[in-house]
Amino acid sequence: MESKLIREHFLEFFASKGHEIVPSAPMVIKDDPTLMFNNAGMNPFKDLFLGNSPVVHPRIADTQKCLRVSGKHNDLEEVGVDTYHHTMFEMLGNWSFGDYFKQEAIDWAWELLTEVYGLDKDRLYVTVFEGDAGDGLEADEEAKGIWAKWVPEDRILLASKKDNFWEMGETGPCGPCSEIHIDLRGDADRAATSGASLVNADHP
């Protein structure tokens, strides 16, 4: 599927779920001293996350042009090492500001990937936060339970804070997150080695 269609299907899907579609913000940031470039889809909405601006649209979807060459999210050193890191990319995002939460976010992600994009359900793995005793953080049992509606237990994987705990910065909004991984290997490789063992293992 061409990137143009991926983008169009994404925005159409979330518009059908009541999201306001907004354009990509400029890649160069002029009013945030902490960033030179937009390096994540949430950057244009920082003031909403921090409660510094009123929420006009509780549901928003966009495709944000991002550049990662410095700061907390710096992918420059990873380019060329694996097959999936890039310095410039578009991040597709659906955002809820005090509206829906994990149930809808997970259900819609699964619907989008399997019904709209037509990805093979048997090739998909999901990760959820396993908790962190050192920081007093519990495992994300809520997300795990929701994923269990769609994904067999052996493809719901627990992952560490490094991979499944989102943080805006050193301080500020943060919390557990889920990731969805697809196994693109051929049938012979899949039969020989479980895809679960390769998730978050820097497999190319």
| Residue-wise pLDDT tens digits, 4-22 | 999 999 999 999 999 999 9
Confidence label for 68 from pLDDT (cuts 50, 70 and 90): confident
Contact status, residue 122 vs residue 151, Cβ threshold 8 Å: no
Confidence label for 78 from pLDDT (cuts 50, 70 and 90): low
Per-residue model confidence (pLDDT) at position 37: 84
Mutual orientation of helices 3-16 and 102-111 as an angle, nearest 10°?
140
Going by the DSSP 8-state scheme, the letter that residue 136 receives in this structure is: T
Question: What's the whole-number average pLDDT of the chain?
Answer: 91
Confidence label for 67 from pLDDT (cuts 50, 70 and 90): confident
- Whole-angstrom distance, CA of residue 67 vs CA of residue 146: 33
Nearest to 36 by CA among 61, 64, 77, 66: 66
pTM (predicted TM-score): 0.89
Which domains does the chain show, CATH number per domain? 1-100 (3.30.930.10), 119-204 (no CATH)
The fraction of the chain above a pLDDT of 90, given in percent, is: 73
What pLDDT, in 10s, does the model give residues 111-146?
Answer: 999 999 999 999 999 999 999 999 999 999 999 999
Nearest to 166 by CA among 102, 119, 77, 108: 102
